[in-house]
Structure 1
Amino acid sequence: MFSGIVAASCQVLSIDQKNGIHRLTLDLTGLTQHLEVGASVAINGVCLTVVAIDDVSVSFEIVQATYNQTNLRILSPATLVNVERSIRLGDEIGGHLLAGHIAGVVTVLHVHISSNEHSVEFVVPEPWRKYCHTKGYIALDGVSLTLASFDYETGTGIVNLIPETLRRTTLRTVAKGKLLNFEVDPTTLTIVDTVERILQSMPKTIDEPKHKASS
């Protein structure tokens, strides 16, 4: 599990492919203390497993389905990615709980920058809109964010970015047309899916109660 509080933006050293498996190697300077092979790390919000460690160079393997579904497919050497180590029991949850299971990618429609505001507008694919609502939680490229507004009809959402988020994450480089990994709040997803399943299992019509004839 993760909290959506990115530790740092780190550089891609290499990304190779062999037999349908993609191997991603990053420079995780400052983030390797107590890191072991088999550990889970979120890369742009995607939960990946460490397969090799060589000093500060850390490698991960990506299956084709994950590669196709996320923006990891557009990475190249020298690209920066958001990195978060998995949380441990007792850690402060500064953002919100995330599983690192990406729903898909969203496309940035507009970036608004002024002297006192930095906001990003994007569009959510239709199947995932039911899990989004104004003031609800989402994650973009692994960053825990609150939806400042959301339009169910168009699927457009807006998030505001504070200076610390811009300093620490790759969201500072976001521009129109960029693809961002998108994860919905797991709690919201569970509630919506459970309620839908219960409602679908209920009878379509409710029979009127039968009254006994008066004697």
Structure 2
Amino acid sequence: MFTGIVEELGHVVALEPGADSARLTVAGPLVTSDAVHGASIAVNGVCLTVVEHDSEQFTVDVMAETLDRSSLGALRAGDRVNLERAMAASSRFGGHIVQGHVDGTAAILTRTPGERWEVVQFSLPHALARYVVEKGSITVDGVSLTVSAVDELDALGAVDTESSGDATFSVSLIPTTLALTTLGHKEVGDTVNLEVDVLAKYVERLLTTKETSA
């Protein structure tokens, strides 16, 4: 489990594609400082398992499911990536519950600079819109963020199926996030990984099961 507090801005050393998978090597001396074989490290919000490592970099295998659901398959050597080690039981819980299981991808639609922050608007796939609420938590490329606005939802929180395109959501990025994560370097049109709040999915599942069994 992770918290969405990025520890290090690493970079891709190599992405070697296979028939139905890929092998990814990433440079990140902080997250590899205590790495062991089998350790979990989140790369742009995707939980991956270390299969090789040294003091400067680590290598992971990325399965087809992960390549299909995330933006990892588009990475190239030199690309910057957000890195976070799995949370230790004794650590402070700085963000929110993040599993490292990407639910889908989104595109950056707009970036609006402020005096000391920046408002960034993203597309929001219809299938995920019901889990995203204003002032709720969302993970974008592994970064725990607070949703500042959600658009194209009706009063009940359901997607407006007659509107064209995806719903949208916005977040406000502080200087630290802009400086220390990939979100400070992404441009309009770039793709990011999304993980919605897992608590919302469990609540929906429990309510659906209750209605079915009633």
Could you state the TM-score of these two structures normalised by the residue count of structure 2? 0.90
Q: How does 1:92-107 map to 2 (within 5 A)?
A: 92-107=92-107
Structure 1 counterpart of 2:140, which letter?
L
Does residue 179 (structure 1) correspond to residue 191 (structure 2)? The answer is yes
Give, in angstroms, the shift of residue 133 of structure 1: 0.6
Structure 2 counterpart of 1:94, which letter?
G
Counterpart of 2:16?
A: 16
Structure 2 counterpart of 1:4, which letter?
G
Counterpart of 2:4?
A: 4
For structure 1, which segment, 16-25 or 160-169, has the greater mean C-alpha deviation from structure 2 after superposition? Answer: 16-25
Contact 1:111–1:174 under 8 Å retained in 2: no
Distance 1:19 1:37 in 2: 24
| Identical-residue share of aligned pairs (%) | 33
2:208 aligned to which of 186, 191, 196: 196
Give, in angstroms, the shift of residue 73 of structure 1: 1.2
For structure 1, which segment, 152-161 or 100-109, has the greater mean C-alpha deviation from structure 2 after superposition? Answer: 152-161
Distance 1:132 1:197 in 2: 21
Which structure 2 residue ranges, 5 or more long, are not aligned? 154-159, 161-165
- Note the aligned Cα RMSD (angstroms): 1.3
Contact 2:9–2:83 under 8 Å retained in 1: yes
Distance 2:209 2:190 in 1: 35
Contact 1:6–1:82 under 8 Å retained in 2: yes
Contact 1:45–1:102 under 8 Å retained in 2: yes
Which structure 1 residue ranges, 5 or more long, are not aligned? 203-215
Give, in angstroms, the shift of residue 70 of structure 1: 0.5
Counterpart of 1:169?
A: 181
* Large movers: runs of 4+ above 3 Å: none
Distance 2:188 2:148 in 1: 18
How many residue pairs match? The answer is 202
Contact 2:119–2:170 under 8 Å retained in 1: yes
Could you state the TM-score of these two structures normalised by the residue count of structure 1? 0.90
1:101-137 CA distance string (max 9 Å, x none): 0001011111111323301101111111111110111
